[in-house]
A and B are shown apart, each in its own frame.
Chain A
Amino acid sequence: EAQVTQNPRYLITVTGKKLTVTCSQNMNHEYMSWYRQDPGLGLRQIYYSMNVEVTDKGDVPEGYKVSRKEKRNFPLILESPSPNQTSLYFCASSFMVRQPQHFGDGTRLSIL
């Protein structure tokens, strides 16, 4: 089954404790991206990757890191999480940015 898999689905952690949210897709997609979703703000793009080893900042990259060492995986790293990063996060993939985005089921992060 074609899918985008995010882990974990839920995480409660404390300020400053490094965490990684994994994202994996099995559709051989070139384009992958991360979003955060907050009430009233819609989805805001954090980082995107056009293909392996190529990443670029979205609209809200501060406090986040990504890497794209292989096509299928695109982890989101929070080196020193802060409470303002409490949010619902989505990973998505597609063949290219103008193609339909396939979203994961989301990761709800709470940073205390």
Chain B
Amino acid sequence: TQLLEQSPQFLSIQEGENLTVYCNSSSVFSSLQWYRQEPGEGPVLLVTVVTGGEVKKLKRLTFQFGDARKDSSLHITAAQPGDTGLYLCAGANAGGTSYGKLTFGQGTILTVHP
């Protein structure tokens, strides 16, 4: 079973601060997706990274895929209360008998205080 270790599990910060969430694994993934989930709703995709070393930006959010495609990070600059939510990373298996599996990290609950 492939594992994605996501950290930190909880993050409580003030508006305007920067933060980074990490997803780490010993396994290689063909792609890494980041989702955000609001209470009472299903996760919604933020970004997909596919190539090792890839960096994608979405306004104040920066996503990076590790060179070896085993880890990823999400960096938020100048966090705002509207960023509050549960952030999830998900890795798609690189191949083999578990090709269709999608493995999620445990999630990071982010709270941004005004």
Contacts and interface: CB of A to CB of B under 8 A. Distances in A.
A97 B33 CA distance: 11
Interface in A88-105: 90, 92, 97-101, 103-105
Contacts of A101: 33, 35, 43, 45, 90, 102
Interface in A57-112: 58-59, 90, 92, 97-101, 103-106
B103 A45 contact: yes
Interface in A12-33: 31, 33
Interface of A: 4, 31, 33, 35, 40-45, 48-50, 56, 58-59, 90, 92, 97-101, 103-106
Contacts of A100: 33, 45, 48
Nearest to A47: B100
B88 A43 contact: yes
Given A40-B9, A45-B102, A56-B100, 15 more contacts: A31-B100, A48-B100, A97-B99, A97-B102, A98-B31, A98-B50, A99-B48, A100-B33, A100-B48, A101-B102, A103-B42, A103-B43, A104-B42, A105-B41, A106-B40
B102 A33 contact: yes
Interface residues of B, number: 28
A100 B36 CA distance: 12
Contact of B30 (A58, A98, A103): A98
Contacts of A103: 42-44
Nearest to A4: B42
Contact of B88 (A42, A98, A104): A42
Nearest to B105: A42
Contacts of B33: 100-101
A40 B86 CA distance: 11
B80 interface: no
A105 B40 CA distance: 7
